[in-house]
Protein backbone atom coordinates (compact mmCIF):
# COMPACT_ATOMS: atom_id res chain seq x y z
CA UNK A 1 0.00 0.00 0.00
CA UNK A 2 1.01 3.60 -0.53
CA UNK A 3 1.95 6.11 2.09
CA UNK A 4 -0.64 8.89 1.57
CA UNK A 5 1.99 11.51 2.45
CA UNK A 6 3.95 10.59 -0.71
CA UNK A 7 1.16 11.14 -3.25
CA UNK A 8 -0.59 14.20 -4.58
CA UNK A 9 -3.32 14.85 -7.10
CA UNK A 10 -2.19 13.79 -10.56
CA UNK A 11 0.14 10.99 -9.38
CA UNK A 12 -0.29 7.67 -11.17
CA UNK A 13 -0.80 4.54 -9.07
CA UNK A 14 -1.94 0.96 -9.49
CA UNK A 15 -5.43 0.81 -8.03
CA UNK A 16 -7.37 -2.26 -6.93
CA UNK A 17 -10.70 -2.14 -8.75
CA UNK A 18 -12.29 -5.25 -7.33
CA UNK A 19 -13.77 -6.00 -10.76
CA UNK A 20 -14.26 -9.72 -11.23
CA UNK A 21 -14.85 -10.35 -14.91
CA UNK A 22 -12.95 -11.95 -17.72
CA UNK A 23 -12.82 -8.68 -19.66
CA UNK A 24 -11.67 -6.27 -16.96
CA UNK A 25 -8.53 -6.45 -14.88
CA UNK A 26 -8.51 -6.59 -11.12
CA UNK A 27 -6.03 -3.68 -11.16
CA UNK A 28 -5.88 -0.51 -13.23
CA UNK A 29 -3.51 2.41 -13.74
CA UNK A 30 -5.20 5.51 -12.43
CA UNK A 31 -4.24 9.11 -11.67
CA UNK A 32 -5.32 10.46 -8.31
CA UNK A 33 -8.10 12.99 -8.87
CA UNK A 34 -8.16 16.41 -7.23
CA UNK A 35 -11.30 15.60 -5.26
CA UNK A 36 -10.17 12.25 -3.80
CA UNK A 37 -9.28 11.86 -0.17
CA UNK A 38 -5.69 10.54 -0.20
CA UNK A 39 -5.80 8.61 3.07
CA UNK A 40 -8.76 6.51 1.94
CA UNK A 41 -7.57 6.24 -1.66
CA UNK A 42 -4.05 5.08 -0.74
CA UNK A 43 -5.40 2.05 1.13
CA UNK A 44 -6.45 0.47 -2.16
CA UNK A 45 -3.42 1.46 -4.25
CA UNK A 46 0.10 0.30 -4.95
CA UNK A 47 3.10 2.14 -6.35
CA UNK A 48 4.05 1.52 -10.01
CA UNK A 49 7.65 0.33 -10.38
CA UNK A 50 9.68 2.32 -12.92
CA UNK A 51 10.61 0.25 -15.98
CA UNK A 52 12.29 1.05 -19.27
CA UNK A 53 8.92 0.79 -21.06
CA UNK A 54 7.34 3.31 -18.68
CA UNK A 55 10.29 5.70 -19.01
CA UNK A 56 10.00 5.51 -22.80
CA UNK A 57 6.26 6.24 -22.65
CA UNK A 58 6.89 9.20 -20.31
CA UNK A 59 9.14 11.05 -22.75
CA UNK A 60 12.58 9.75 -21.77
CA UNK A 61 15.02 8.77 -24.52
CA UNK A 62 17.55 5.95 -24.31
CA UNK A 63 20.97 7.40 -25.16
CA UNK A 64 23.86 4.91 -24.88
CA UNK A 65 21.94 2.87 -22.29
CA UNK A 66 21.09 5.91 -20.15
CA UNK A 67 17.55 7.30 -19.88
CA UNK A 68 17.25 11.07 -20.20
CA UNK A 69 14.58 13.65 -20.83
CA UNK A 70 14.22 14.64 -24.47
CA UNK A 71 15.77 18.09 -24.07
CA UNK A 72 17.28 20.46 -26.57
CA UNK A 73 20.94 21.50 -26.54
CA UNK A 74 20.07 24.75 -24.76
CA UNK A 75 18.97 22.76 -21.69
CA UNK A 76 22.21 20.76 -21.36
CA UNK A 77 24.35 21.68 -18.36
CA UNK A 78 28.07 20.94 -18.78
CA UNK A 79 27.15 18.36 -21.43
CA UNK A 80 24.66 16.57 -19.16
CA UNK A 81 20.88 16.47 -19.64
CA UNK A 82 18.55 18.07 -17.09
CA UNK A 83 17.33 14.79 -15.51
CA UNK A 84 18.70 11.38 -16.40
CA UNK A 85 19.14 7.79 -15.19
CA UNK A 86 22.60 6.21 -15.41
CA UNK A 87 22.19 2.52 -16.22
CA UNK A 88 25.73 1.65 -15.06
CA UNK A 89 25.41 2.72 -11.42
CA UNK A 90 21.56 2.60 -11.43
CA UNK A 91 21.25 6.19 -10.19
CA UNK A 92 19.30 9.32 -11.08
CA UNK A 93 21.19 12.54 -11.80
CA UNK A 94 20.30 16.20 -12.04
CA UNK A 95 22.88 17.43 -14.55
CA UNK A 96 26.16 16.06 -13.21
CA UNK A 97 24.94 15.74 -9.59
CA UNK A 98 23.77 12.38 -8.25
CA UNK A 99 20.44 12.73 -6.43
CA UNK A 100 20.28 11.71 -2.77
CA UNK A 101 16.67 10.54 -3.09
CA UNK A 102 16.45 7.96 -5.87
CA UNK A 103 12.96 7.56 -7.36
CA UNK A 104 11.92 3.94 -7.75
CA UNK A 105 8.25 4.46 -8.53
CA UNK A 106 6.28 6.53 -11.03
CA UNK A 107 4.71 8.83 -8.41
CA UNK A 108 8.15 9.61 -6.96
CA UNK A 109 9.51 10.52 -10.40
CA UNK A 110 6.43 12.68 -11.03
CA UNK A 111 6.92 14.54 -7.76
CA UNK A 112 10.65 15.02 -8.38
CA UNK A 113 10.09 16.32 -11.91
CA UNK A 114 7.36 18.68 -10.73
CA UNK A 115 9.56 20.00 -7.90
CA UNK A 116 12.46 20.64 -10.28
CA UNK A 117 10.64 22.07 -13.29
CA UNK A 118 7.24 23.24 -11.98
CA UNK A 119 5.70 21.20 -14.84
CA UNK A 120 3.82 17.92 -14.81
CA UNK A 121 5.59 14.90 -16.26
CA UNK A 122 3.68 13.57 -19.28
CA UNK A 123 2.58 10.09 -18.22
CA UNK A 124 1.16 7.65 -20.79
CA UNK A 125 0.83 4.23 -19.21
CA UNK A 126 -2.00 2.73 -21.24
CA UNK A 127 -4.08 -0.14 -19.88
CA UNK A 128 -2.83 -2.38 -17.10
CA UNK A 129 -2.39 -5.92 -18.35
CA UNK A 130 -2.87 -8.78 -15.94
CA UNK A 131 0.01 -11.18 -15.62
CA UNK A 132 -0.42 -14.87 -14.92
CA UNK A 133 0.14 -14.45 -11.18
CA UNK A 134 -2.25 -11.52 -10.82
CA UNK A 135 -5.33 -12.32 -12.85
CA UNK A 136 -9.01 -11.64 -12.47
CA UNK A 137 -10.16 -13.18 -9.22
CA UNK A 138 -13.32 -15.25 -9.11
CA UNK A 139 -14.72 -14.74 -5.61
CA UNK A 140 -17.90 -16.68 -6.22
CA UNK A 141 -16.65 -20.16 -7.10
CA UNK A 142 -19.26 -22.64 -5.88
CA UNK A 143 -17.38 -25.90 -6.41
CA UNK A 144 -14.10 -26.62 -4.58
CA UNK A 145 -10.97 -26.95 -6.66
CA UNK A 146 -10.11 -30.47 -7.77
CA UNK A 147 -7.45 -32.36 -5.81
CA UNK A 148 -7.61 -29.92 -2.92
CA UNK A 149 -7.98 -31.50 0.53
CA UNK A 150 -10.94 -30.48 2.65
CA UNK A 151 -9.86 -29.36 6.12
CA UNK A 152 -11.80 -28.62 9.24
CA UNK A 153 -12.11 -24.96 10.16
CA UNK A 154 -10.88 -25.46 13.76
Q: What are the domain boundaries of the chain?
A: 1-48+121-131, 51-102
List CB contacts of 57: < 8 A, sequence separation 6 or more. Answer: 123, 124, 125, 126
**pLDDT above 70 (res 148):** no
Q: What is the mean pLDDT of residues 4-9?
A: 84
Answer whether residue 38 shows pLDDT above 70: no
For the chain, give percent helix, strand, coil, nearest 5.
20, 20, 60
pTM: predicted TM-score of the whole model, two decimal places? 0.72
Mean of pLDDT values over 88-117: 90
Q: Which residues pair with 63 in a beta bridge?
A: 66
Strand partners, 13: 30
Q: What's the pLDDT at 137?
A: 45
21-34 average pLDDT score = 69
pLDDT tens for 54-64 read 888 888 999 88
Comparing 77 with 126, the larger pLDDT belongs to 126
Amino acid sequence: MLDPREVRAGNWVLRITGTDTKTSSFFEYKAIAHDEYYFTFAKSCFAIQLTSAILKNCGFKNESGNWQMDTGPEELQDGFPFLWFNSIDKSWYLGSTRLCAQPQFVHQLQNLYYALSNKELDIRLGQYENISIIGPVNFFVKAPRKNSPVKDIL
